[in-house]
Amino acid sequence: MTANAELCKEVADWAEKAQNTRGTAVAFDMTDWIHNDDLYESADEIPVEQLKEGSCGTAACIAGYVALMRAPKGTTTTGSTLYLPDGGMTDCDRFAQGELGIDSSQASALFYCSNDTAIARLRYLSENPDATEWDLLNVVG
């Protein structure tokens, strides 16, 4: 598949800026899809719009960030699952995979790594949108 190079660059730019800055906008953290204290203190779904406003200490991995920024208005989440306004639901990783224009192998190489490696792989994808999973696995941050 051919990755959405523009979105890969946009997400890499965000990740570099947001790394280790919890409490300011959406922080970058590859250890959780979407993390916010409100999500863990409540059994209810939280509106995505509320989480991306930046005043609530939200942190997200690459897939979580893409989900927060690209999910349709009215989407809610419990962390790793998105509940879409049309009644459907999907996982953050599958949603982000579609938005980024990558296949499941590329997604695996991109979503399951360290912060620095994720940024490096996003940069590589933005410059090489036809990169394979193996190409990505050879990129280490």
Domain segments of the chain: what residues? 5-137
Rounded Cα gap, residues 81 and 115, in angstroms: 21
Percentages helix, strand, coil for the chain (3-state, rounded to 5) are 50, 10, 40
pLDDT confidence tier of residue 29, bands split at 50, 70 and 90: confident
* Distance, CA of 92 to CA of 72 (rounded, Å): 13
Where does the pLDDT of residue 54 fall: very low under 50, low under 70, confident under 90, or very high at 90 and above? low
**What pLDDT shows up at residue 23?**
47
Q: pLDDT per residue over 55-107, tens digit each?
A: 566 778 999 999 989 999 999 988 788 999 999 999 999 999 999 999 999 99
Contacts of 61 (CB under 8 A, 6+ apart): 28, 29, 30, 31, 32, 33, 34, 111, 118
Other Cβ atoms less than 10 A from the Cβ of 12: the count is 20
Greater confidence (37 vs 141) lies with 141
pTM attached to this predicted model: 0.87
- The span from the CA of 78 to the CA of 11, in Å, is 22
Rounded distance between C-alpha atoms, residue 8 and residue 62, angstroms: 10
Please classify residue 80 by burial: count the beta carbons closer than 10 Å to its beta carbon, then call 0-12 exposed, 13-18 middle and 19+ buried. middle
Q: Which residue has the higher pLDDT, 82 or 45?
A: 82
